[in-house]
Chain A
Amino acid sequence: DAGVTQSPTHLIKTRGQQVTLRCSPKSGHDTVSWYQQALGQGPQFIFQYYEEEERQRGNFPDRFSGHQFPNYSSELNVNALLLGDSALYLCASSWGASGSFYEQYFGPGTRLTVT
């Protein structure tokens, strides 16, 4: 049973560039949430996708956008990268709509460095 997978593992970008991170949910899951985790901090909720729509959003600017595909996989896009966007980006999958937080499984994350 494949767990949550994310790609790439590591990424280095320059300020002002754009980046796309990818996530495949755990088998049987249809909901994907994205989190940003800065060093020494807990994960911060970015947004959640269910049925190919953004259902909930945290306090992140519009530079952060996402997409969910019919196979439930998801992408996180960040435009106009800032140094402060350097962080570990975690994807978590679960089953059902927004009430599915109870059984979230996290992927290994993508470590983004902005120089």
Chain B
Amino acid sequence: RKEVEQDPGPFNVPEGATVAFNCTYSNSASQSFFWYRQDCRKEPKLLMSVYSSGNEDGRFTAQLNRASQYISLLIRDSKLSDSATYLCVVNGEPYSSASKIIFGSGTRLSIRP
């Protein structure tokens, strides 16, 4: 089993739709979680951190479920500009030991007009 798993997609949804991705992780000791966005042939950019209490940034909502060991990303009222690959990132050690930083393979999202 991979340490961090994501549905590769692609998710193809119409503009204005709501879409959700999940990401599962295997290390129950994982401490911090993030969603990154990566456009085609570009570098990853931090989208948002994921907190135990959940957090929201505009149209984006991130949730953490420690019991089931997954994080989720919800995008409401999707825009064409949301088309990208969304990378789940898990940091498996306390205080961000870099050797345990693990990226998922990414979920491709395509928004159609």
Query: Is B98 a contact of A33 with CB atoms below 8 Å?
Result: yes
Say yes or no: is B53 at the interface (Cβ < 8 Å to chain A): no
- Does B98 contact A106, Cβ atoms closer than 8 Å? no
Which A residues lie at the B interface, using CB under 8 A?
33, 35, 40-45, 48, 55-58, 90, 98-109
Complex interface residues of chain B between 1 and 54 (CB less than 8 A to chain A): 4, 8, 32, 42-46, 49
> At the interface with chain A, which of B57-65, B66-74, B100-108?
B100-108
B52 to chain A, nearest CB (A): 15
- Chain A residues with Cβ below 8 Å from B46 are 103-105
- Expressed in whole angstroms, the Cα–Cα distance for A101 and B30 within the complex equals 14
A41-B105, A42-B103, A101-B101 known; A106 vs B96 contact (CB < 8 Å): no
A3 CA to B37 CA in the complex, in Å?
Answer: 17
Q: Among the listed A40, A56, A57, A90, which residue makes an inter-chain contact with B43, where contact means beta carbons less than 8 Å apart? A: A90
B98 adjacent to A48 (CB under 8 Å): yes
Inter-chain contact A56/B97, CB cutoff 8 Å: yes
Closest to B8 in A: A40
9 residue pairs A–B, Cβ–Cβ below 8 Å = A33-B98, A42-B89, A45-B99, A45-B102, A56-B98, A90-B44, A98-B96, A100-B96, A101-B101
Q: Which 3 A-B pairs have the closest CB atoms?
A: A42-B103, A56-B98, A106-B43
Whether B103 contacts A106 by the Cβ 8 Å rule is no
B87 part of interface (Cβ distance < 8 Å):
yes
Q: B44, B49, B98: which contacts A45 (Cβ < 8 A)?
A: B98
Cβ of B91 within 8 Å of any chain A Cβ, yes or no, is yes
Partner of A98, one of B4, B32, B97: B97
A66 to B46, alpha carbons, bound, how many Å? 25
Q: Which residues of chain A have C-beta atoms less than 8 A from B106's C-beta? A: 41-42
